[in-house]
Structure 1
Amino acid sequence: MTTSTLRGPLPPMDVADRADRVRASLDGSGADALLVTDLTNVRYLTGFTGSAGRVLLTADRMVLVTDGRYATQAPDQVATAGVAAEVEVGLTLGEQDRVLAGAVPPGARLGLEAASVTWAAQRRYGRDPWTSELVPTEDVVEAVRQVKDDGEVARLARAAGIADAALAEVAPTLVDGPTEEAFGFALDTAMRRLGADGVSFETIVASGPNGARPHHRPADRAIGEGDLVVIDFGALVDGYHSDMTRTFQVGEASATQQRMYEVVAAAQADGVAAVRAGVAAADVDATCRDAIAAAGWAEAFGHGTGHGVGLVIHEDPRVSRTSTAMLAPGHVVTVEPGVYLPEHGGVRIEDTVLVTDEGCRPLTLAPKDPAPPTPA
C-alpha cells in the first residue's frame, strides 16, 4: 500500500445486518432480550461512537438511549449506518432506565453483559422500573464481532498500511541513536500525519536489555551499537486497530542474537503458514511454540502466540495454548512469537492476518530484515 492510498473513502460496513446476527446468537444465552452496555458493542450495533449510551435488543426492536450531549450525533450516526433503531436522547439516567425497561417484552428474560456490568448497576437493574428476570450473558455480541465484513477488513488494512509506511519513514533513524521515547514519539507522529486517527496502544520501543521485557514502556535509554530493538505498535482508523512488531539489530549482532532472530523469524513464518479456516487456534500456537522449544528456548517464550484484532486491540479469538477457538473465514488475528533473554535482549516478530479458506492474507506488510533500512 503506497502513501497515496492511505487516505480517501473506505467501503461501507454492513452495520445494519449486525442486530439480526446478534439476535440469532441469543438463542443459546438463556436470554430473550439483551441490554448492551459495553460501549464497543454499542458502537458495533448502531454506529454510535459517543462515550455514554445503552442499547436494548429484542426480537423485533433496537432502542438506543443516551444523554443530551449526543442529541444530534446519535441519530445522525445511526442513520448514516443504515441501522433500524429507535434513538432516545437528552435523557437522565432514570429516564433512560424507564425507556429501556418499558421496551422489554412482558415475561422476557433480560440478558446483561456480565463483563461490563458493575455490581451496583446489576442491583439497579433488579429494582423498579426493571421487572424482568435477569440473565448473565457472555460474548453474545463479541462472538459476532469476530467475523469481519469487507468494510471492516478495509479499515484494518488501511490501519496496517499506515503503520507500514510510518515504520519505513522512521526506522532509518535507529542508527542515529535516538532514545526509545524519541523514536516512539516520531513513529506515533508519522502515523498521525499519514492519516491515522490515533495509535492502537502505547507504542513499545524496547532496546538492549529492555527488549527482554515483552511490554516494556519506552524510556530515556539511548539506542546503541549492538542493540536488538523490539518495536510493537499500531494505527487506529475509524475505530479499527492494526498491530505489528518488527525487531531491528543496530550494529553487528552477536552469534546468540543472530540465532534468536533466525529462530523467531522461522517460528513466525511457520505460524502464519499454519493459519487457515478450520484450524484450531491452539494448533497455530503450538506450531510457533514447538519451533522455539526445539531451539532450546521454550522458557524464553512466555506469552500467547496471538489474538484477535478489530474494534479492540486484543479480542477473540485468542491464539494460545489454552484457546478453544477454531479459526474461521473473516477472523483477523496476530501471529507474534518471541524469545526474550535479559543478557542478549529480545526478538518478537508479529503480523496481523485475515483468515481465509485457503490460508491467510497478511495485512501488515513491512519488511522483516533485521538491519535498519537506509534513508530513502
Structure 2
Amino acid sequence: MPDFALRRDKLRSLVKKSGLHALLVTNFTNVSYLTGFTGDDSYLLLSQHGEVIISDPRYTEQLDDECPGLVQVIRRPPTKMSDAVSAVLKSTGVQQVAIEAASMTVAFRDTLAAGLGDVQLHSSNGLVEQLREIKDKEEIDAIRAAIKCAQQAFGVIRASLRPEQSEKQVADELEYQIRLFGGKKTSFEPIIGVGPRGALPHGRPSDKKVGEDDFILIDWGARMGGYISDLTRVLVTGKISPKLERIYGVVLAAQLAAIAEIKPGAVMKDVDAAARGVIEKAGFGPKFGHSLGHGIGMEVHEAPRLAADQDRPLRPGMVVTVEPGIYLPGWGGVRIEDDVLVTKSGHEVLSSTPKQLQDCIVTA
C-alpha cells in the first residue's frame, strides 16, 4: 500500500517553499496519487494543517473504503463545486491558495475567485507532478505488472497474426488480450501501421490488411493497477528488404546508444542527443521528428521528457520511454520503444520483448 500521507507531507513542503498556504488539487490523477481515491469529480485541498477532499454523494462509500480517515466534504445538489470549494477555503482561514493552472478552466477560476472575498488565488504548475516523477517501490511494481500484461498480450497477437487481419482488428484483439491477462484496458488506442502507414507516428488503426505489406508497426501498452506501460515493436510479415534492414538497424543502434547513457545525473537532452546523433549520422536526421521519450506512470505522457530542450539530470526512480524512430512517407516507419527505470547505479530496461530484426520475423 503506497504511503499517501507521506506523499501529502512532501507536497506540503513544496507548497510551503512556494510561499503559499495551501494547494487546491483539481487534476483527478493527482488527487488519486495523493489519496488513493480512484473516482473523479473530486478535489483535494491541502494546507499546512491538513487536507480535505471535496466530493459528492456518489462517492461517499468509495471514499470511506479507499481513503479511510481522510476528511470529507460532500456537496449535495444543487450545491455547485465552486460554492463547496469556496466554503471549505473560507473555513480554513487560509489567505493565499495555489491552484493547478494546467487543470483548472478560466471559467471555474473566475467563478471561484468571485466567491472568495479576500482569499487570493495563485497559479502554480507541476507541484504534484514533481513528486510523481520519482516512482516508489509500489509504483515500480505496478509498472512492471503493466509491462508484463502488455507483453503477454503482444505474444498472443504475434502468434496469431494473419494476412487478412486489418489494423483495427489487431488493435481490438490487443485490447481483448490485455483484459484477459488482467489489465483494465490498453494504455491508449493502439497505434497499428502496416507498411506506409507506419510513417504516421500517431496513426489510428484503419482497415488496411496485415498482408498488404512486408512489415507492421505496433505501439501499445496496458493499464493495470492504476499504472501503464508503453511499448513499440515492428514485426516483419514478408521479406526483409535492404531498405528495411538498414533503417531498422539504424533505429535499433540509436535506441541502444541512448539507453546506454541513462543513469543518475545524465542530462536528459544528452540522452536524446545520443540517439539523435546516430540517426543524423546515417542521414535520416529530419525523419526523426519527435523527442526521444517521456515519463510514464499513472498517465501515458508525464514528466520527465527526454528531449533536446531538457537540461535537467535524471534521478533514480524515474521511468522513461526510449523510442527513436525514422519515418519515410510513402514507405513506412520504424520505431522501437522500451520502458527504462533509472536506478541508483545506472538503469534497468523493464521491458523484454525481443527486438533484434531476426527476432521480429513472423509468419502471417
Give TM-score, length-normalised by structure 2: 0.94
Q: Which position in structure 2 is the counterpart of 1:249?
A: 236
Structure-2 residue corresponding to 1:326: 313
Deviation for aligned residue 1:225? 6.0
> Which of 130, 138, 159 matches 1:172?
159
Q: Distance in 2 between matches of 1:342 and 1:208?
A: 10
- Number of aligned positions between the proteins: 359
Counterpart Cα distance in 2 of 1:283 and 1:308: 16
Aligned residue in 2 for 1:187: 174
Q: Deviations over 1:51-106 (max 9, x none)?
A: 21111111111010101111111122112xxxx53112243325522442134334
Query: Which of 265, 269, 285 is equivalent to 1:278?
Result: 265
Match of 2:216 in 1: 229
Distance in 2 of aligned mates of 1:157 and 1:364: 8
**For residue 305 of structure 1, what is the amino acid of its counterpart?**
L
User: Which whole-Å CA distance do the structure 1 matches of 2:59 and 2:251 have between them?
Assistant: 48
2:65 counterpart residue number: 76
Could you report, residue by residue, the CA deviation over 1:241-279 in whole angstroms, capped at 9, with x for unpaired residues?
Answer: 100001112111211111011110111111111111111
Which residue number in structure 2 is paired with residue 3 of structure 1? none
Partner of 1:9: none
- C-alpha contact 2:237 2:363 (8 A) present in aligned 1: no
The corresponding residue for 1:102 is 90
Aligned equivalents of 1:220 and 1:29: distance in 2? Answer: 52
Partner of 1:59: 48
1:281-320 deviation line (CA, Å, top 9, x unaligned): 1111000100100110001100010000011110000111
Asked if 1 retains the 8 angstrom alpha-carbon contact of 2:83 and 2:112, the reply is: no
Report the Cα distance in structure 2 between the residues aligned to 1:181 and 1:130, rounded to whole angstroms. Answer: 54
Give the drift of 1:226: 4.4
DSSP-derived class of the 2:4 partner:
coil
CA 174–342 in structure 1, closer or farther in 2 if over 3 Å, else same: farther
1:50 paired residue number? 39
> In structure 2, what is the Cα distance between the partners aligned to 1:65 and 1:145?
22
Q: 2:9 aligns with which of 8, 20, 27?
A: 20
- Contact 1:13–1:151 (CA<8 Å) still a contact in 2? yes
Hey, what's the Cα distance between the residues in 2 that align with 1:15 and 1:230? 39
Does residue 259 (structure 1) correspond to residue 246 (structure 2)? The answer is yes
167-176 or 54-63, which moves further after superposition? 167-176
Work out the CA distance in 2 between the residues paired with 1:190 and 1:147.
30
CA–CA separation in structure 2 for the residues paired with 1:292 and 1:318: 19
* Aligned equivalent of 1:211, options 188, 194, 198: 198
Q: Distance in 2 between matches of 1:169 and 1:14?
A: 36
Q: Report if aligned partners of 2:235, 2:362 keep a CA contact under 8 Å in 1.
A: no
Residue 303 in 1 paired to residue 290 in 2? yes
RMSD of aligned alpha carbons = 1.7
**Residue 86 (structure 1) aligns with:** 71
Q: Indicate the larger mover: 198-207 or 167-176.
A: 167-176
User: Conserved in 1, the CA contact under 8 Å of 2:43 and 2:53?
Assistant: yes
For 2:268 and 2:138, the matched residues in 1 are separated by 24
Deviation at 1:29, TM superposition (A): 2.8
**Other structure's SS at 1:24 match:** helix
Q: Which of structure 1's runs of 4+ aligned residues deviate more than 4 A?
A: none
Tell me how far 1:326 sits from its aligned partner. 1.7
User: Which amino acid in 1 is paired with 2:259?
Assistant: V
